[in-house]
Amino acid sequence: MKESMDHIIDWDDAYSNRAYIPGADAIAEDWPVRSKAFRDQLGRAGRLQADIAYGPHVRNRLDLFLPEGRPKGLVVFVHGGYWMLFDKESFSFTAAGPVAAGYAVAMPSYVLCPEARIGDITRQIGEAVTHAASLIEGPIHLSGHSAGGHLVSRMVSSASPLPPDVLSRIRRTVSISGVHDLRPLMKTSMNQTLRIDETEAGRESPALLQPAEGMEITFWVGAEERPEFLRQTALMEDAWGAGAKVNTVVEPKRHHFNVIDGLTDPDHPLVRALLVL
């Protein structure tokens, strides 16, 4: 049956988001515009520390957005783009909700595929979270979108690259529209760039790993997303439900490109889930 299904499913179509979202290009083009406005606002207030190095590569940089007053803790947001697109500057606007709620937000870029492999990116995000944790005291909250959802889930897996003292500070993780089983991506044309093989899929797929002890994670997805993203979310609820405190939210009237908009509002349920408010 598996062989028959693989023959029938168009895996490129299953992971194609833009083709099924009206106005997708305009939405994506607006992300850096919204981000620049937010960056300018915090920059004028002296609450943006840009391009902090966490590693040797030019893309091993993170931005730190600061609230008014002493931070209640740290949020790290990891951007998506199938591990091969975008950067931190495109998604700065998503820091607005947690910053307004009193948290510092670190947002890293990372070396993209094909220059890096997904396993390399996992290690980079571990280094970024560790460095950000050295800058801000208190509890740590992780969130990421799409490929970023994969990466933050990977941070709280039993094979986490994080040192124990950083891992122990993580209070809540929210994976938004994450890709948690990499094996189907091996059947897409994207894999010419991603270069996932069976070994890497087994090592880097959170769905094939166990959660780290004591983790609390929410898997958040839009109700109007492609069926494969809904399936990937349900898969993690099953895979991690026995080993972690798991919550799954399917947000009505949201698709892959606007599901992150809730992060801009400190009173939105997405921000409240992330910050345990």
Show the 3-state SS of the chain.
Answer: CHHHHHHHCCHHHHCCCHHHCCCHHHHHHHHHHHHHHHHHHHHHCCCEEEEEECCCCCCCEEEEECCCCCCCCEEEEECCCCCCCCCHHHHHHHHHHHHHCCCEEEEECCCCCCCCCHHHHHHHHHHHHHHHHHHCCCCEEEEEECHHHHHHHHHCECCCCCCHHHHCCEEEEEEECCCCCCHHHHHCCCHHHHCCCHHHHHHHCHHHCCECCCCEEEEEEECCCCHHHHHHHHHHHHHHCCCCEEEEEEECCCCCCCHHHHHHCCCCHHHHHHHCC
Quote the pLDDT of residue 29: 95
Position 276 confidence tier, pLDDT thresholds 50, 70, 90: confident
Q: What's the pLDDT tens digit per position in 125-158?
A: 999 999 999 999 999 999 999 999 999 999 999 9
What pLDDT does 3 receive? 44
Question: Is the pLDDT assigned to residue 7 strictly greater than 60?
Answer: no
Of 3.30.70.270, 3.40.50.1820, 3.40.50.300, 3.40.50.1370, which CATH number belongs to 2-275? 3.40.50.1820
pLDDT of 34: 97
Give pLDDT, residue 157: 98
Whether the per-residue pLDDT at 94 is higher than 50: the answer is yes
Residue 173 has pLDDT above 50, yes or no: yes
Tokens of 88: 């931190």
| pLDDT-based confidence at residue 1 (cuts at 50, 70, 90) | very low
Split at pLDDT 50, 70, 90, the class of 223 is very high
Phi-psi region of 81 (alpha: psi -120 to 50; beta: other; left: phi over 0): left
| pTM score of the predicted model | 0.95
Predicted local confidence at residue 2, as pLDDT? 45
